[in-house]
Structure 1
């Protein structure tokens, strides 16, 4: 894959992610789900690391500006998490629908080992025919 095709894939995925943030009645392909999931996870992990760094700096140097920056980054983390969580859950449900499973399968993630089958379900190919959750998603360009 070229860089241009990766960028266009990510743009298409982000467009789909932002267009249907609360709609669980559709299906989402792997190509539409994974780029935005990974980007959101990367953003949240980066903000967590920055929060940790600034908290350690505040403990070590007891600086007012460091404390202020830490608070700003912490609120950026909370805001990002609030903005990303709901669309991510609905995209996950749409992805489960694409594999022919109910969104209730998300509940297995509440157990410690439940993430393993959930990730396997999310990585599976789409059902090639229409299912009870809708028609086969078209490849978006």
Structure 2
């Protein structure tokens, strides 16, 4: 009795887990929220930095609104809490893109750690990051 041939091998990662190279502002913000708690995979520089820009713009809007009324302070707190997990997740995915573990974000708790992270976040992708494709 003969058996049918096995199905062809599928890649071990989905296209969604790879970094979105050349992401537009809208695409980056959409992926920031749709990959809310996705710590695996990779994030490109454009995806990461557009997400940072979005966070800065939202912060500026809340700062201006707080001048009008303190009620917006609570909305700002809610936004910060809602964006905490996706910010950590995109940071981990960005570090994966350069071949580093997402746990390296903890060096931000040291005096010079934030400078090191900014340099790493601005670094071009590396082939070592392929191991983080899932």
TM over 0.5: yes
Structure (1/2) with the larger helix percentage: 1
Asked if 1:13 is matched to 2:28, the reply is yes
Q: Distance in 1 between matches of 2:95 and 2:127?
A: 14
Q: Deviations over 1:54-107 (max 9, x none)?
A: 5xxxxxxxxxxxxxx31x111111011011111011000000000100011101
TM-score by length of 1: 0.71
Superposition RMSD in Å: 1.9
> Which ranges of 4 or more aligned residues in structure 1 deviate by more than 6 Å?
none
Alignment coverage as a number of residue pairs = 112
In the other structure, the counterpart of 1:43 is 58
Unaligned runs of 5+ in 2: 1-22
In the other structure, the counterpart of 1:25 is 40
Aligned-partner SS, 2:24: helix
Asked if 1:87 is matched to 2:82, the reply is no
Unaligned runs of 5+ in 1: 1-7, 55-68, 136-141
Q: Distance in 2 between matches of 1:94 and 1:130?
A: 10
TM-score by length of 2: 0.75
